[in-house]
Amino acid sequence: MDNAAPFDEAHLLTDYTALRQRAAALEEQVPAYLQRISETLHRIGGESDLANHHRSLLVSARGNAMMAIENYHQAFPFLQTAGSLVEQLDRQPISFEGAEWRDALLQSLDELIDNAVVMIDEAELRFGEAKDPDPAAVPRSILDV
């Protein structure tokens, strides 16, 4: 076997770290935004065309926020397993004897990251869609006090 690893370990570790940060940002932001949507939905009163229009928009936004949560939750097992692999890589010194084992770990890490990226990308897309409309943009005239 060639001594050159087929995977760039530093690049994979950078990708993993960035992906963990993206997931953490979603976990922090999406539930709070979903709460804002829900609170605003409950405050929309009446059956006017304007109220029904904003209610419909916020129901759609709520669905997108919930899909965002579902997607980043689906990524967590991949990220947790990737974290375990990173810990194993940190404990195993780089040596010729362990090169095949290390390459196998890096390949697994690459696959886990690839899977999690798809889920996090989708979560971010759904969260972006959930932000339009902004619950703060609902006219006060249709909100119950």
Domains identified in the chain and CATH numbers: 21-142 (1.20.140)
Question: From first to last of its 145 residues, what are the pLDDT tens digits of the chain?
Answer: 344 446 789 999 999 999 999 999 999 999 999 999 999 999 999 899 999 999 999 999 999 999 999 999 999 999 999 999 999 988 876 665 667 888 899 999 999 999 999 999 999 999 999 999 899 999 999 998 6
| Torsions phi, psi for 144 (to 5 deg) | -75, 145
What is this structure's pTM?
0.87
d(CA 97, CA 85): 18
What tokens were used for 134?
Answer: 């902004």
